[in-house]
Amino acid sequence: MVRYDYDLITIGGGSGGVRASRLAAAGGARVALIEERELGGTCVNAGCIPKKLFSYAAHFASDFTDATGYGWTVGARSFDWRRLIANKDREIARLNGVYTRILETAGAEVIAARGRLVDGHTVEAGGRRMSARHILVATGSRPVVPQVPGAELAITSDQAFHLDRFPQRVIMIGGGYIAVEFASIFNGLGSQVTLVHRSAQILRGFDDDLGSVLAEEMAAHGVTLRLSSQISRIERAENALAAHLDSGEVLAADTVMYATGRAPNTGDMGLEQGGIALADNGAITVDDFFATSEPSVYAIGDAIDRMMLTPVAIAEGTALIQALFNGGPRRMDYENVPTAIFSHPNVGTVGLTEAEARARHGSVKVFKTRFRPLKATLSGSPERMFMKLVVEPGTDRVLGAHMVGEGAGEIIQGVAIALKCGATKAQFDATIGIHPTSAEEFVTMREPA
């Protein structure tokens, strides 16, 4: 019997890699996790966590304004960008330490180096070679920037959390969730923001109504939208940047940020030499149980480009360890995975879009509402909420739930449980609403649109 140095070597210390390594080590396996940067991956260091903290910071501007309608007198106020950065950095450092402790407490060895695959059972890192019965690649993803002249003058989300100075004018390029989130953040903190997107609608891939409604709400908040437009080149212009649109218009900005998608972070790792099959975009090809073309090597998370969501990577890591060390294969269930977009206002969604439901089931019933929330009646805010249910007529099952409005992620999380349980529209209707809340609208929509 072959004797390996470890039972599991994980390359990548993001959410999925840490979860898998911790579970395996806690169960008695000999585990090494290799990570060249801070533990926690994109989510902790340059994604979910700092982004949500920035979103909280940006929301205070509207909170101060809303307070006036409720009898509060709010005095002079100012925003300190560097203080926000310092406080954010302190919290991220704390989380990095938490990840280190939970791995070491479970018994995993953490190796601070870049890992490269040598063969199906061997990894090289930090000048040493080590072997393992199983190897897991969980190296996440990275921002993608189009090849546009002057693109090197722009930033991505990786740099947005570390800017030395707060930009007064920002051009955001893209129309996905990262673009609308950062456009909302910079706008809320006081920047003049222009969002440039090549398509006629933002949030492509989500339910069409979500993109339409969010575009209207973001415009009402002061974000300028340049849809069906593209940047042809970026140049320096005195103390600013000049972004040239394909229409001939030139926009001046202090910061230009690309949020035009992410790609699996799988380059320069020896994967091809190790016999690992990759897709055209660099994603690692795996089967239903996360095995690659090399039977002893597995991959999860953004590196396989199925659903680039932190909770999905964690669930994939959990399923893999159950299969490898705890008694048998377990398929990952990707149906009805909820997600939220922390734009202003928030977006929450779970299940099928209306278009997907029609393509899969034919005719569907659609219930939707748009209304002014109670909070806005005294604050004077123009913000309006939107909710939508997509229902399959034959079974009455709710196929999709979608929302734009404050707390959308918090509300959709509960709705997602109902969809996972196969709830019907009749069961939604039979549920008593909590009044007065915005969430009660999900159980009071009676007439199809």
Report, as residue numbers or ranges, the catalytic residues: 435
Is the omega angle on the peptide bond into residue 436 within 30 degrees of 0, that is, cis?
A: yes
Taking CA atoms, 411 is separated from 136, 365, 367, 415, 417, in Å, by: 35, 22, 17, 7, 11
Residue type, 132: A
Residue type, 41: G
- CA dist 433 and 114 (Å) reads 52
* H helix runs in 350-437, sequence order: 354-361, 374-379, 408-420, 425-430
Taking CA atoms, 69 is separated from 59, 336, 437, in Å, by: 17, 39, 19
- CA dist 187 and 221 (Å) reads 8
Beta strands at 385-391 and 398-404: parallel, antiparallel or unpaired: antiparallel
User: Which run of H or E residues covers position 66?
Assistant: helix 48-69
- CA dist 229 and 213 (Å) reads 20
Q: In this structure, are residues 358 and 207 in contact, taking their beta carbons and an 8 Å threshold?
A: no
Beta strands at 250-253 and 240-245: parallel, antiparallel or unpaired: antiparallel
| CA end-to-end distance (rounded Å), the chain | 66
